[in-house]
Amino acid sequence: MPVQVLKERNSSKVTSITLGATKEQGGTRTGTITVGGEASLPFLHFEGEMPNKPVIAMEVVDRVPEEWNEELKAAFEGVMDSPAAWAKKSVEEFGADMIFLKLQSADPELGNSSPEKCIETVKSVLAAVGVPLAVVGCGIDEVDNKVIAAVAEACAGENLLLGFATQENYNTIVAACMVHKHTVIAQSPLDINICKQLNILISEMGLPLDKIIIDPSIGGLGYGIEYAYSIGERGRIGTLQGDKMLALPTLGTIGFEAWKAKEANVGIDEFPGWGEQAERGILWEAVTASALLQSGLDILVMRHPEAVKLVRKNIGDLMVPNSL
Amino acid sequence: MNKYQVTFMPDKVTVAVMKGTNLLLAAKKAGIDIESPCGGHGTCGKCAVKILNGAYDMQDDSHLPKELKEMGYTLACQVKVRNDMTVEVPFLSRLTRHKVVLGSKRTKFNKEHDYFGKKPMDPICRKYAVQLEAPYLSDSLNDLDRLKHALSRQYGLTDVRIALSCLKTLPSALRQGGWEVTVTVADTGSAAEIVAVEPGRSTKPAYGIAVDIGTTTVVVNLLNTEKGKILDKAGSYNKQAVYGSDVISRIIYTDEHADGLALLQKAVVETINELIDGILRKNGLEPGDIPVMVCGGNTVMTHLFMGVTASYLRLEPYVPSAVKFPVVKARELNININPEAAVITIPSVASYVGGDITAGVLATMIARSEALTLFIDIGTNGELVLGNKDWMVTCSCSAGPAFEGSGISCGMRAMDGAIDWIAIDHQSLEVQCKVIGDTKPLGICGSGLIYSLSEMMEAGIIDRAGKILTGKASGRIRKTSEGREYVLIYAEESGTGQDIVITEGDIKNLLRAKGAIFAGIRTMLQMVQLDTSAIERVYIAGGFGNDINLADAVNIGLLPDLPAEKYEYVGNSCIQGAMIVLLCREALAESEKLADGMTYLELSVGNQFMDEFISAMFIPHTDLSLFPTLHSA
């Protein structure tokens, strides 16, 4: 007896957004990346198309992140003091689809880099790799408003992915994106209402919706991942039901959240039953990523090359249309 | 213990008080009512007075605004008298005469759409002129039974009791009137009672008093209950305001002071008595002419009026002492009318849906209509009723007193000096405003706040999240240590000598208030699984309701985006309900049925309300599709 497969009829889909710009498009990238466009819940290929696979952006920091786990630092040995080299290695050796550059040294307590210095860093990374670039600030609003606005101007036309616009601080960065043709990351604190409100606020400033990527905030494995999942799911269901203000691709800072977990960092000597830390940390990041892929993330910001490898394989498997 | 003289200026009223008396209470004793929304805890900073001379002990005046402190003011509630004193009470700190919404302009309940369109009036109190046979030796029936027989024979009235005080006057009245008397009978359903006896045939009609006991204001209407005619209206602020501006701080006052409950009861009774005295004097009537009074008020007000503790309303699981209160005699509550008069309170539904709402539902006749009606009473709390003749649900959403001007830096109640309308030029950001009483502006009232929010949004001063934007260059947008603010009126044009501003904090408070009401509406609709579009009619009630501008209220997302013709302002529906009960015994029974029949929805159960509330904290709403007419504009 043939099995009747029940299919949801969805009236709407996620907006497709292209990141980066080639020479013809006014930038310097060798290729662009398009995310979004899903017309179903994640990976339900039989129900609706999923034209673009989720992409992995590897994280690069513009200062040596001493606080990172030794295992992580070992993977990038020799390139961590040069964002350009770090980015190059990430793309050429580890196959990153994008680079996620964190201008952490702009923080007055972590280097106090001037906007000019930050522009220099971004330019060097742009020169080193051909993939699209995401650039975010140090997290201090006043500093980021100067740094990101300067980067946006200096890299006009590159269609960078700039962040973070938050409900408290979105005007400057959104204006910079509008004027200099970039895409913005709209970050909300695990709250679907604020997520939507921020998108409304940004689009009312005049930035088109296809220039906004959502960062709904996530929790790592064991640290509220289920909550992050349900926020992602709610957003996607809202999207499919026709909510234009939620119908945007999403980004998750996987590496940052996963490597914060105690379970990713403590050594085997402390918890003999937990197994080797190196393997455990990688898996912690990979599992966080694969779990949240199911909530509909389009851009995974990751750290460890081994975790990236595992997740890329996972994405490849999931993108094979099922026989249904 | 020593007594000291405290003189209040510029009134020049002197009272003698004990050493250590709180200055706020001394002022109260002197008959000067000072604003004290926090109930004398020193936290609201509103009871500023200037001490001209005398010794006193100061507690904590850290909540007094800095500018006032520099001008030599101090907080009355934090001052304890230590010697003779002279104190100046500035206009700003006074509870001046209120602009009270006295109800609709109707003077008679005989229009077709009214309650009495299809129903005859059947007032609770009637006067009966009775002609008795004079007794003689072989017919020596006693006076009272003779009266009862005559009532039964002439009017078919049986089972009539008589108040003792009336029995005392009966024998002489009968003889004085040549065996003709006029008796006033109050029939509240359970038993009819003679509450007044007049010799001969009285020319005065039967009167009645309807009272709306509001948290902020009290309104009294005098009626000719025979004709159903409203003879006069009066209103003033509730004197309980001295003990706190909202019901919760008043309950706390009763908990923290041994005589608190008695004081609060006395305050509201005093308020009602003053209003009645005034209205009776104006109409040439005596207190004894009033044989009945019907009151409507929220559950807490009803408790406090009756002198029953409301403490347990405040504590989980929020249980009231009673929702239906017994009919009592005026003398039991010290109401200054006929001591035997029946005092009826309209039953409440639950802790936070009171008799005022029952009265409103009665007056708007929601329970007799096919049309699905939403009834909104916006005050300190937003109370909602949804339903029609088949079912009714009700809930209360703690909107907070922002629309009454509380918790807003330059907020005030709708009284003289309050800005109740503003317009902002979109280019220059200059402000035009209207002030109640055409005086210099002192602050902003609820309707002014709604206009402000809507206008600031339209002019691009704030974004949809209520944040003040800096994009527009104007000296009116300023940054202070507590965030940004927008100057509506500069100090030199204001009546307070200070700038009148709206801060980001104020906007947050307003968004919370409007969000709570809208979320209440949405949650209630979802609980009964209906869509906003299913609502066929919206009645807006409350003192605030009369000044509310519909377009702007929808614009900020306070009210659902429904066609304007579905909305109707009903004004003070509580007093209307109280008047209907005065005029119709069946309405009294109906009010009890209504209170029983409304299903109370507790919004704090589950997280649906919270979710809706967060979505509604945006102008107009996170879900713009709920406001299609604004969205397309």
Domains, chain A, in order of start with CATH, read: 17-318 (3.20.20.20)
Cα–Cα distance measured from residue B92 to residue B72, given in angstroms and rounded to the nearest whole number? 14
Test A193 with B464 for CB contact under 8 angstroms: no
What was the pLDDT predicted at B631?
Answer: 60
Chain B residues closer than 8 Å to A200 by CB:
464, 618, 622, 624
Cα–Cα distance measured from residue B363 to residue B579, given in angstroms and rounded to the nearest whole number? 9
Cα–Cα distance measured from residue B11 to residue B125, given in angstroms and rounded to the nearest whole number? 43
Test A193 with B622 for CB contact under 8 angstroms: yes
Test B624 with A200 for CB contact under 8 angstroms: yes
Q: What is the dihedral of CA A174, A176, A179, A185, to 10 degrees?
A: -50
Sign of the Cα pseudo-torsion (B498, B499, B500, B501, in order): negative
Q: Would you list which residues of chain B are within 8 Å, Cβ to Cβ, of chain A?
A: 463-465, 467, 469-471, 611, 614-615, 617-618, 622-624
Listed range (A133-137, B408-412, B510-514) with the worst mean pLDDT: B408-412
What was the pLDDT predicted at A262?
Answer: 95
Calculate mean pLDDT across residues A196-219.
Answer: 95
What was the pLDDT predicted at A80?
Answer: 96
**Topology of the domain comprising B124-199:** Ubiquitin-like (UB roll) (3.10.20)
Which residue among B465, B469, B611 places its CB closest to the CB of A197? B465
A196 touches chain B (CB under 8 A): yes
pLDDT at B106 over 50: no
pLDDT band at B632 (very low <50, low <70, confident <90, very high): low
Q: List Cα–Cα distances, B10 to B21, B36, B50, B72, B94, in angstroms.
A: 21, 20, 11, 16, 12
What was the pLDDT predicted at B109?
Answer: 40
> pLDDT tens digits, residue range B285-307?
999 999 999 999 999 999 999 99
> pLDDT tens digits, residue range B143-182?
999 999 999 999 999 889 999 999 999 999 999 999 999 9
Nearest chain B residue to A191 by CA distance is: B614
Q: CATH: 3.40.50.620, 3.40.50.1000, 3.10.20.30, 3.60.15.10. Which one for B3-93? A: 3.10.20.30
Name the more confident of A135 and B439: A135
Test B469 with A245 for CB contact under 8 angstroms: no
Chain B residues closer than 8 Å to A197 by CB:
464-465, 618, 622
pLDDT at B481 over 80: yes
Please say whether the beta carbons of B514 and B558 come within 8 A.
Answer: yes
pLDDT at A115 over 80: yes
* Phi, psi dihedrals of residue B179, rounded to the nearest 5°: 65, 25
A11 touches chain B (CB under 8 A): no
pLDDT at A126 over 90: yes
Cα–Cα distance measured from residue B212 to residue B214, given in angstroms and rounded to the nearest whole number? 6
Cα–Cα distance measured from residue B605 to residue B350, given in angstroms and rounded to the nearest whole number? 15
Chain A residues closer than 8 Å to B615 by CB:
193
Query: What is the full DSSP assignment across A169-220?
Result: S-HHHHHHHHHHT-EEEEE-SS-HHHHHHHHHHHHHHT--GGGEEEE-----
Chain B residues closer than 8 Å to A168 by CB:
467
Chain A residues closer than 8 Å to B611 by CB:
193
Test B464 with A204 for CB contact under 8 angstroms: yes
What was the pLDDT predicted at B19?
Answer: 84
3-state class (DSSP) for residue B305: helix
A201 touches chain B (CB under 8 A): yes
pLDDT at B464 over 50: yes
Count CA atoms closer than 13 A to B10's CA, side-chain side.
2
What was the pLDDT predicted at B21?
Answer: 83
- The mean pLDDT of chain B is 87
pLDDT at A107 over 80: yes
pLDDT at B379 over 80: no
Domain with CATH 3.10.20.30 in chain B: 3-93
Count CA atoms closer than 13 A to B29's CA, side-chain side.
14
- The mean pLDDT of chain A is 95
pLDDT band at B30 (very low <50, low <70, confident <90, very high): confident
pLDDT band at B80 (very low <50, low <70, confident <90, very high): confident
What was the pLDDT predicted at A323?
Answer: 61
Chain A residues closer than 8 Å to B483 by CB:
none
Which residue among B465, B614, B624 places its CB closest to the CB of A167? B465
Interface test with A, best of B469, B479, B622 (most A CBs within 10 A): B622
What do you get for the CA distance between the two ends of chain B, in Å?
A: 71
pLDDT at B530 over 80: yes
Helix-, strand-, coil-residue percentages of chain B, each rounded to 5: 35, 25, 40
Helix axes B608-616, B504-527, angle to 10 degrees: 140
Residue A107 carries which side chain, given as an amino acid letter?
D
Test B464 with A191 for CB contact under 8 angstroms: no
- Closest approach of chain A CAs to the CA of B106, in angstroms? 45
A191 touches chain B (CB under 8 A): yes
Nearest chain A residue to B462 by CA distance is: A201
Nearest chain A residue to B471 by CA distance is: A171
What was the pLDDT predicted at B545?
Answer: 46
A236 touches chain B (CB under 8 A): no
| H or E segment to which residue B539 belongs | strand B537-541
Which residue among B464, B469, B614 places its CB closest to the CB of A200? B464
- Closest approach of chain A CAs to the CA of B472, in angstroms? 13
Name the more confident of B108 and A270: A270
A171 touches chain B (CB under 8 A): yes
Test B463 with A201 for CB contact under 8 angstroms: yes
Chain B residues closer than 8 Å to A167 by CB:
465, 467
Test A204 with B471 for CB contact under 8 angstroms: no
pLDDT above 90 coverage of chain B, percent? 51
pLDDT at B344 over 90: yes
Q: What is the ipTM of this complex?
A: 0.75
What was the pLDDT predicted at A85?
Answer: 97
Numbers of helices and strands, H then E, in chain B: 17, 29
- Closest approach of chain B CAs to the CA of A193, in angstroms? 6
pLDDT at B98 over 70: no
Please say whether the beta carbons of B450 and B457 come within 8 A.
Answer: no
Name the more confident of B578 and B447: B578
Test B618 with A197 for CB contact under 8 angstroms: yes
Chains A, B: CB contacts within 8 A come to 31
- Closest approach of chain B CAs to the CA of A38, in angstroms? 22
- Closest approach of chain A CAs to the CA of B613, in angstroms? 10
What was the pLDDT predicted at B95?
Answer: 66
Test B624 with A245 for CB contact under 8 angstroms: yes
- Both tokens of A2, joined, read 């043939």
| Burial track A69-108 (b if 16+ CB lie within 10 A, e otherwise) | bebbeebbeebbebbbbbbbbbbeebebbbbbbbbbbbbe
Calculate mean pLDDT across residues B6-17.
Answer: 81
Test A171 with B624 for CB contact under 8 angstroms: no
What was the pLDDT predicted at B102?
Answer: 45
Domain with CATH 3.10.20.880 in chain B: 124-199
pLDDT above 70 coverage of chain B, percent? 95
Which residue among B465, B614, B617 places its CB closest to the CB of A201? B465
Nearest chain B residue to A168 by CA distance is: B467
- Closest approach of chain A CAs to the CA of B7, in angstroms? 51
> pLDDT tens digits, residue range B384-413?
999 999 999 999 988 877 887 777 889 887
Interface test with B, best of A197, A234, A244, A245 (most B CBs within 10 A): A197
Place of tokens 């009336």: B166
pLDDT above 90 coverage of chain A, percent? 94
Cα–Cα distance measured from residue A56 to residue A316, given in angstroms and rounded to the nearest whole number? 12
What was the pLDDT predicted at B26?
Answer: 83
pLDDT at A58 over 70: yes
What was the pLDDT predicted at B113?
Answer: 43
- Closest approach of chain B CAs to the CA of A299, in angstroms? 25
